[in-house]
């Protein structure tokens, strides 16, 4: 389970012994990094019972260097999961000693966000023998199946479970596309 916020991590840790991925999300004025940007975030998640702590490992302006966040996670006795956007970021984090790498931020850093999960990135990392978590735009059971086939050790499903308004929008958009193509070429009545 990937849980946001130390209070929520503590609440879930109190009722399960399953591995918990803890994150803190922040909107910073001086950095686009949102996921566990500060060392004190690592400390609060570790104190709350997270067994794995995920952090933004993208190559962007950040309040604390990614390798310092990684080191703090290990100092606190937790496994580290690097949320990456590119193959190179994942490679750098594996070389630095990160336990898991995740495709969480693939497609979210530069340019328009794609509609599909980045199975190719998952496969490239997995083919190197790295422990990979597929995350980002996993919206259906088939997407999760494809991620495992691509070599993911685990799959994180976010919006498809936690945001029913997004799911409704996906269905509405798909239905509107069908309606638009069905109406093409018809004369108004």
Mean pLDDT of the chain, nearest integer: 89
Contact 24, 6 (CB under 8 A): yes
**Sign of the dihedral through C-alpha 72, 73, 77, 82:** negative
Taking only the tens place, the pLDDT of each residue in 114-128 is 888 999 999 999 999
* pTM metric for this prediction: 0.85
- Per-residue pLDDT tens, the chain, 189 aa: give them: 899 999 999 999 999 999 999 999 999 999 999 999 999 999 999 999 999 999 999 999 999 999 999 999 999 999 999 999 999 999 999 999 999 999 999 988 987 888 889 999 999 999 999 999 998 888 888 988 999 999 999 998 866 555 556 656 656 666 677 666 655 655 555
Choose among 131, 137, 130: nearest CA to 153. Answer: 131
Q: How far is CA 99 from the centre of its chain?
A: 15
Alpha carbon distance 173, 189 (integer Å): 25
Q: What is the pLDDT of residue 182?
A: 58
């Amino acid at each position: 389970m990937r849980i946001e916020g130390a209070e929520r991590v503590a609440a879930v840790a109190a009722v399960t012994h399953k591995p918990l991925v803890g994150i803190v999300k922040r909107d910073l004025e001086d950095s686009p990094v949102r996921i566990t940007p500060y060392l004190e975030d690592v400390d609060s998640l570790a104190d709350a019972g997270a067994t794995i702590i995920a952090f933004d490992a993208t190559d962007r302006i950040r309040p604390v260097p990614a390798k310092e966040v990684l080191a703090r996670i290990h100092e606190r006795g937790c496994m580290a999961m690097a949320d990456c956007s590119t193959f190179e970021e994942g490679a750098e984090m594996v070389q630095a000693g990160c336990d898991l790498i995740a495709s969480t931020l693939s497609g979210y850093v530069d340019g328009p966000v794609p509609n599909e999960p980045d199975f190719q990135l998952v496969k490239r990392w997995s083919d190197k023998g790295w422990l990979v978590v597929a995350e980002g735009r996993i919206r259906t059971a088939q997407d999760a199946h494809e991620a495992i086939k691509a070599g993911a050790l685990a799959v994180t499903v976010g919006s498809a479970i936690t945001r029913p308004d997004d799911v409704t929008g996906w269905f509405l958009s798909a239905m509107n596309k069908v309606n638009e193509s069905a109406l093409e070429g018809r004369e108004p009545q």
